[in-house]
Structure 1
Amino acid sequence: MKIGLAQINPKVGDIQGNTTKILGCIEKLSTADIVVFPELCVTGYPPEDLLFNKDFIAESQVAVAKIAKAVNSHQAVIIGCPEHTNGELYNAAFVINNGHIIGTHRKVFLPNYDVFDEMRYFSSGQTGTIIRFVNHTVGIIVCEDLWRPDGPAQWEASQGAQTIISINASPFEHGKMESRLNLIRHMAKTSKVSIVYLNMVGGQDELLFDGASVVVSDDGDIQAVMPSFEESLSLVNVPASSGNDILHNDSSFLANESNSIVHCFDVPMETSDEKPISDLVEAPIDSIANIYKGLVMGIKDYVTKQGFKGVIVPVSGGIDSALVATMSVDALGADRVKLIYLPTRFNSPDSLEDAKKLSDNLDSPLMVLSIDSIFETFDNTLRNELHKESFDIADENLQARIRANIVFYISNATGYLVLSCSNKSEAAVGYGTIYGDMAGGFAPIKDVLKTQVYQLARYRNDLNPVIPERILSRAPSAELNVDQKDQDVLPPYDILDAFINDYMVSNIPIENLTQRYGNEVVSKILRMIKGSEFKRKQAPVGPKISPRSFGKGWRMPIVNGFMPKENTLGD
């Protein structure tokens, strides 16, 4: 069976543009028996509260009908789109052949955790779905249906499906690729089916979709892998599983052993019997390169889909802004990236030298505007008014806020988007100035720990050394005061980052955290995390790369009287 995989990058809400893209892919994959598209590809994913808009739903249904008219009798097409019927809305996979919608699979398991809240919008399907071709039987599922034991994939396999096609909008997170692939291979072997896993690609607000679609045979061997973070079309000859018999039954419903129901549709076409290519296909690998590629795509998609001319990166001579500037040039080209350096008396000559070298290496001009006189005017006025003599955090933050005013002025004047260079480690403990360095329209490294910032920078330099070595080697500093270093205030970043993962992602109890890090470190970091919630709620959106980011999946109250204590735990 020859399957055309359309790993595409739709835009949420652009139903007309997505439809045009889908029709173009069908034309290019005209020799395929079945052409497969991602989950909710007609509307883009996640459409969120657009799904409450009746005009939006109506237009999506018109789009499916338009796509159906373009499909001939020798080909079947599977596309993801909301299905509105009998007052209910479903996350559905539409099966199209010969100008008609033959049937749909309604997503059974609706994710309602982390960034997902599909139960807010959709009703749950109740059946598995099998498409019976003349010589091949195919099961259809949508994303989360694949991840549940004893779910639609198993129902369909038990009722004779030889191949399972799963359409997905599965967000990227570092480490997920291996677990995803292991699940697919295990399910293929245990259910004796080939599995076609087709994933969306692209950036949408805080989500990255990595693609990395795969085809696995019933013995768990990988038949094909599509690239990560790239739109791609591919033709794959999928082997028919010999473990399950093709069913021919007069009833359109079949009950499996667990009394779940499988709904069957017949498609009166014969699929090809070409043998799959036996060349060894390497499994996709989670790596720092994947994170870098995903973040670059995230910048490109956010800027391009929003229609900005380019981006402004306030560079400081430090590692965070150097990485953001480099990724921005890789994403958009040097001509669409404006680098701005805004020093005061506290910025060292080395910082300016490194910023200029970075600018030269990236071939992106650097604008240098000293803000010392502006800072002095502000500072003197406020000191006189408040009868203030000391130089403290208010004076430090004032510098960051002056910089924010200037870069946003330039943004308004040019139509370029301001990027924030704050990272996850700083955001966790509030080591950043609200309305200052935290300000921006998009934060590319919002979910990137400081230790990962260095890993990403070194990875990029291995490809082509553009980030000056001194930026990588010197101690990080905000340079808002004399001889200031991050570690004057924060624990070492390797300790802080390990704690953030243990606390945020692994949800380790305070008793175990205290045993691992000591009471002083735990108490300090927890106070900083809790006290910084109001800042994070006002920070710009940024791409999620970890299992839990400071975004939709982190829903902490700002006003919060709870502080965990080791002695409150029971046995």
Structure 2
Amino acid sequence: MKIGIAQINAVVGDFPGNAKRLLQAYRECLEKGAELVVSPEMGLVGYPPRDLVFKSQFVPKCLQALDYLATEIGEVPFLVGYVDHHESDQPGKPFRNAAAWLERGEVRAKRWKTLLPTYDVFDERRYFEPAAACEPVEWRGRKIGVTICEDIWTDDYLDRPFYRRDPVRELKEAGAEMIVNLSASPFHLGKPEQREEMLASVARKAALPLVYCNAIAAQDQLVFDGHSVVVGPSGEVVAKLPGFEEACEVVDLRQDAAETVPRSRVRMPQPPCEQLWRALVLGLRDYVQKTGFETVCLGLSGGIDSALTAAVAAEALGADKVHGLTMPSPYSSGGSVADSFALAENLGIRCDEVRISDIFEEVKRTMAPLFVGEAEDVTEENMQARIRGLLLMSLSNKFNHLLLTTGNKSELAVGYCTIYGDMCGGLAVISDLPKTRVYDLCRWLNREREVIPWNTIEKPPSAELRPDQKDQDSLPEYDVLDEILEAYVERHLSTDEIVDLGYEEDLVRWVQRRVDLNEWKRQQAAPGIRVTSKAFGMGRRMPIVQRFTG
């Protein structure tokens, strides 16, 4: 059987646009000889729709689009993901995460998602009722086992056993001859490799071929990376679609054909820096375009974080869509301004200079009667950041730019950022990228030519808010800080457990306390693009008011 895989980029709630994308992909697969075409989870809806499903006309409009789509489908079936009503008289959630088998102008069969994840970034039990039974779709004498995303995630690849049911086993026992999976599996670093290993294990255990179609898109903070895979019954990878881009491919699942698959169809995994780069580029591009913006602006400090953010923006949108603003204060070095303009020249983006020294002095004079007898401290440092935030927001308002924030995960974790200052903006592009990863990615970008000025990479990092300031005046060395943060934020280790790894107790407790105390600040931050297994924001739900220190 020749299976067409339609790895498309859907927009949440754009039923006409998504239907058009699905039809284009379906027809492209037909031209390549497909006998059955598979699309991603909720390909007609976009994932995740979240509380949009509660809007009175959301699901009816989805079903209307599904009926239209069915009328355009001929003898070659098309599996499409969508949201349906739960029409049972039994108690339960109001909706279903569903897949429709479209054939010869009608919806011939429907199947429901069985395993509903409610952990990390997922919240599906809030909306959906699971399938009571798993039954294959019978077609031309074959039995096709239809699963949706989580249905194939086995206990071996979850933190702990979450489910009592195994949909793949149920389908195998019901006579399924192959497993098809419609998926919207979000990216984090290392996820494509983990996912492929899991798919091979599932196919091997079931002794069935497995066709896996993953979404490619960015939705708010999540990036869906594609990397759709076809796996043979022995666990061998028959074909892989590319990551971070739309693709349509037809794979022949006949045993003799599988044995002669060209090696070009089985792509090598991308190195970590390339994965991160492509995820950030896709995340920024989709966020900007799907929210209706055309251009972005950002502050250029001459530092490495703003440089990387600008490079991502130029790649995602085009250099002519990026407007940089460098805003030196009395404490800014001439090198920082020069580095900002060198970066702009390397990227081909616009960069303007607005000095804030006079504004800063005027704000201090204005506040002086209230600050009599008080020494200058972090208050005056934050004034500079907030003046820059005001100027950048003004630039954003005047020209309808989306303002990008430029802080990294290490700084956001410990609160080394100014709320209503450098945190102003609509999207935090690298807020899930630890500082050490920022350096790695910038060096990777410079592997063939200078993109990020080398001086920006090599000079000690500094906020330049007071004379001769360096980040390490206030923070541990970033390689140590990032290791502690990874243990505390992503692995959820206690203070004592981190100390047992070999770190100084006072330092660990300082980092832990800073993370906990700055939750209020992070909950007011711009949404960020998730690229690690535990980002601040979606998937991490910590209270602001709490006293647990373990």
TM-score tier after normalising by the smaller chain length: over 0.9
Query: Where does residue 36 of structure 2 map in the other structure?
Result: 34
Q: Contact between 2:135 and 2:174, CA under 8 Å: does it hold in 1?
A: no
Query: Where does residue 78 of structure 2 map in the other structure?
Result: 77
> What is the rounded CA distance, in whole Å, between the counterparts of 2:469 and 2:533 in structure 1?
33
Alignment of 1:152-301 (within 5 A): 152-239=167-254, 277-280=260-263, 281-285=266-270, 287-301=272-286
Q: Contact between 1:320 and 1:453, CA under 8 Å: does it hold in 2?
A: yes
> What is the rounded CA distance, in whole Å, between the counterparts of 1:274 and 1:187 in structure 2?
21
Alignment of 1:377-388 (within 5 A): 377-388=362-373
Q: Contact between 2:495 and 2:512, CA under 8 Å: does it hold in 1?
A: no
- String of CA shifts for 1:245-291, please: whole Å, max 9, x gaps: xxxxxxxxxxxxxxxxxxxxxxxxxxxx9666422324434521011
Within the candidate set 499, 502, 507, 1:514 is matched to: 499
* Residue 555 of structure 1 pairs with residue 541 of structure 2: yes
Query: Where does residue 19 of structure 1 map in the other structure?
Result: 19
> What is the rounded CA distance, in whole Å, between the counterparts of 1:324 and 1:552 in structure 2?
21
Structure 2 runs not aligned, ≥5 long: 89-93, 156-164
* Residue 370 of structure 1 pairs with residue 370 of structure 2: no
Query: Where does residue 419 of structure 2 map in the other structure?
Result: 434
> What is the rounded CA distance, in whole Å, between the counterparts of 2:144 and 2:59 in structure 1?
28
Q: TM-score, normalised by structure 1?
A: 0.91
* Residue 9 of structure 1 pairs with residue 9 of structure 2: yes
* Equivalent position SS for 2:546: coil
Query: Where does residue 243 of structure 1 map in the other structure?
Result: none
* Residue 302 of structure 1 pairs with residue 287 of structure 2: yes
* Equivalent position SS for 1:361: helix
> What is the rounded CA distance, in whole Å, between the counterparts of 1:163 and 1:388 in structure 2?
78
Q: CA deviation at 1:64?
A: 0.7
Q: CA deviation at 1:356?
A: 0.9
Q: Contact between 1:222 and 1:282, CA under 8 Å: does it hold in 2?
A: no
> What is the rounded CA distance, in whole Å, between the counterparts of 2:9 and 2:95 in structure 1?
23
- String of CA shifts for 1:30-83, please: whole Å, max 9, x gaps: 23111111001111000001110120110000111111111112x010000011
- String of CA shifts for 1:205-229, please: whole Å, max 9, x gaps: 0000000001011111111111110
> What is the rounded CA distance, in whole Å, between the counterparts of 1:470 and 1:84 in structure 2?
58
- String of CA shifts for 1:400-426, please: whole Å, max 9, x gaps: 000000111111100100000011100
Query: Where does residue 544 of structure 1 map in the other structure?
Result: 530
Going from structure 1 to structure 2, the CA distance change for 1:376 and 1:157 (only over 3 Å counts) comes to same
Query: Where does residue 409 of structure 2 map in the other structure?
Result: 424
Within the candidate set 100, 109, 123, 2:115 is matched to: 109
- String of CA shifts for 1:293-321, please: whole Å, max 9, x gaps: 01011110000111112100101000000
* Equivalent position SS for 1:209: strand
- String of CA shifts for 1:188-240, please: whole Å, max 9, x gaps: 11211111110000110000000000101111111111111001111111236
Q: Contact between 2:86 and 2:129, CA under 8 Å: does it hold in 1?
A: no
> What is the rounded CA distance, in whole Å, between the counterparts of 2:250 and 2:213 in structure 1?
12
> What is the rounded CA distance, in whole Å, between the counterparts of 2:346 and 2:185 in structure 1?
36
- The farther-off stretch of 171-180 and 459-468 is 459-468
Q: CA deviation at 1:389?
A: 4.5
- State the one-letter code of the partner of 1:457: C
> What is the rounded CA distance, in whole Å, between the counterparts of 1:136 and 1:13 in structure 2?
34
* Equivalent position SS for 1:360: helix
Within the candidate set 502, 511, 514, 2:487 is matched to: 502
- String of CA shifts for 1:104-158, please: whole Å, max 9, x gaps: 1210110000111011111111222312222433211000000035511122123
> What is the rounded CA distance, in whole Å, between the counterparts of 1:532 and 1:477 in structure 2?
20
Structure 1 runs not aligned, ≥5 long: 241-272, 565-571
> What is the rounded CA distance, in whole Å, between the counterparts of 1:276 and 1:59 in structure 2?
44
Query: Where does residue 264 of structure 1 map in the other structure?
Result: none
Going from structure 1 to structure 2, the CA distance change for 1:220 and 1:154 (only over 3 Å counts) comes to same
- The farther-off stretch of 225-234 and 25-34 is 25-34
Give the % identical residues.
Answer: 38
Q: CA deviation at 1:390?
A: 1.7
* Equivalent position SS for 1:140: strand
> What is the rounded CA distance, in whole Å, between the counterparts of 2:441 and 2:249 in structure 1?
30
Query: Where does residue 338 of structure 2 map in the other structure?
Result: 353
Going from structure 1 to structure 2, the CA distance change for 1:453 and 1:65 (only over 3 Å counts) comes to same
Q: CA deviation at 1:391?
A: 1.8
Q: Contact between 1:129 and 1:141, CA under 8 Å: does it hold in 2?
A: no
* Equivalent position SS for 1:54: coil
Query: Where does residue 91 of structure 2 map in the other structure?
Result: none
How many residue pairs end up in the alignment? 531
Q: Contact between 2:143 and 2:175, CA under 8 Å: does it hold in 1?
A: yes
Query: Where does residue 462 of structure 1 map in the other structure?
Result: 447
Q: Contact between 1:174 and 1:286, CA under 8 Å: does it hold in 2?
A: no
Q: Contact between 1:23 and 1:67, CA under 8 Å: does it hold in 2?
A: yes
- State the one-letter code of the partner of 2:490: V
Within the candidate set 486, 498, 511, 1:525 is matched to: 511
Q: CA deviation at 1:371?
A: 0.7
Q: CA deviation at 1:160?
A: 2.6
> What is the rounded CA distance, in whole Å, between the counterparts of 1:509 and 1:446 in structure 2?
23
> What is the rounded CA distance, in whole Å, between the counterparts of 2:260 and 2:401 in structure 1?
48
- String of CA shifts for 1:419-466, please: whole Å, max 9, x gaps: 000111001000000010111100010110000001111111114321
Aligned Cα root-mean-square deviation (Å):
1.4
> What is the rounded CA distance, in whole Å, between the counterparts of 1:493 and 1:275 in structure 2?
48
